[in-house]
Amino acid sequence: MKRLLIVYASQTGHTLQLLDAFCQPLLPLCAELSISRLSAEAADLDDLLAADAIVLATPENFGYMAGKVKDFFDRTYYPAQGKTEGLPYLMLVSAGTDGLGAIQAMRRIACGYGWKEVLPPLLAQGEVLPQHREQAMELGEMLAAGMLVGRW
């Protein structure tokens, strides 16, 4: 069974709203796709090494990813070196007005691991709107479909 790791942080629930929408189309696939949805402080190296794809979901804080997500990278970067190359990933970002700093920073770090960004990031600025939820659901569908047909 393919395994999807979701690593997230959320202080006021906006990123979680995106994540809930993203996960909605995955629920009927639980017989074919194992999903580990973990807060960034709970996720560890074993979770990462077991993953066939990873979703990084975070608010933008001070022009960067949440500190807990950065800490996940700090804890896993060296021990994972050479072991996760080519891992498909995508990003979900909730931000007040911007979000590009968080996206750029995660992209740079993911590049260091050798991961492959397989779908464009979802950036929701301000309140999470129905259109953001729809986009998140579409991304969930596309990521799962790509994993199940072996596209990535």
- Give the binding site for ligand FMN (CB under 6 A): 10-15, 59-63, 94-99
* CB closer to ligand FMN, 120 vs 126: 126
CB 124, CB 93: distance < 8 Å: yes
* CB closer to ligand FMN, 97 vs 149: 97
| Cα–Cα distance, 17 to 128 (Å, whole number) | 7
Q: Which residue has the tokens 């729809």?
A: 134
CA distances from 108 to 11, 71, 127, 147 (A): 24, 15, 27, 23
Shortest Å, Cβ 111 to ligand FMN: 22
Shortest Å, Cβ 62 to ligand FMN: 5
For 62, left (φ over 0), alpha (ψ -120 to 50), or beta? left
Shortest Å, Cβ 56 to ligand FMN: 13
Give CA angle at 25 (152, 5), nearest 5°: 50
Shortest Å, Cβ 83 to ligand FMN: 29
* CB closer to ligand FMN, 18 vs 54: 18
* CB closer to ligand FMN, 4 vs 57: 57
* CB closer to ligand FMN, 11 vs 104: 11
Shortest Å, Cβ 102 to ligand FMN: 8
Paired tokens of 133: 């939820």
Give the β-pairing of 122-125 and 116-117.
Answer: unpaired
